[in-house]
Structure 1
Amino acid sequence: MTKRLLMLVGALGIVLPLLASGPAMAVNPDEMLSNPALEKRARDISQELRCLVCQNQSIDDSDAELARDLRVLVRERLIAGDSNEEAIDYIVARYGDYVLLNPPLKPETYILWGSPVVLALLALLAVFAFYRRKQREASAGTTASLSREEQARLDEILGSSKGDGKA
């Protein structure tokens, strides 16, 4: 009975955090618009904008104060009559293309698009260089021979260990 109880507690300890780890919507009730159509548009826009503090979350998912400010700003733009594109353009004009979770491909954003490829190539180059060096060291080690003094000392050590019966 105790084993079963411990197994159940252990399973719950694994399962409960996984269930709770879903995306947490950080939009507070005081930020929400009373018009459901405008609120849906605001949520759609918020899913496209990056939290500049968290960097890998949309502002819709982030609890950061800056993300909250951006969510409020998006809602203000929609209330002012902006289209989705106009609201996004307004935010991009203030914060740059980096605020977009999917930035456009243009000269100013080449570094955003190219850095993962460059880093992957550098990692492959480092792995290649590592194994190449290991091969060189291994081949250099097999061709190197011991000097006469070293060989004599090795024979002496090996001979004495055989005589002790420890080998």
Structure 2
Amino acid sequence: MSRQYQRKTARGTFTKDAMEIAVAANLEGRYLRKAASDFGVNYKTRQRYVKLHQKHGNIEKATFGYSTQKKRIFSDEQEQALLDYIIEASSVYYGLTLREVRNLAYELAVANNIPVPESWTSAKTAVEDRLKAFRQRHNDKLSLRNPEATSLNRTQAFN
């Protein structure tokens, strides 16, 4: 089962520059829908930013598009520290398994008093989706091992 999200709409794909130009065009007297279609922005979205401009005098503080920062648990510095520890552990001995990295992420969050989702608290470990996203962000630097059966386990399996 693939967990790679495929975008189904163009919502939130406009740039800040395009929105500023579209808002300026509206302030010059262009029609709302005409200017919105000319700049590739939904007219309702444009109307919302025009109201923000009228209220505050600019749209500098407005957010544009979707933000994934709200969903992240660790800051960039904490994530880099976790990555450095994983790389250091892999150079010292055979490295960490996926479960050990998930446990380590949970322990790091608890030690730094970072609020975590309920699923982390009940399982006392990070969920697999967060680890997958972490691995995608650091794919060029990170290699985690899968546990393998030892020769002793293989002989016991045949008996």
Structure 1 length as normaliser, TM-score? 0.27
Q: Which has the larger radius of gyration?
A: 1
Quick one: higher RCO (CA 8 Å, sep 6+), 1 or 2?
2
Structure 2 length as normaliser, TM-score? 0.28
The structure where helix makes up a greater share of residues is 1
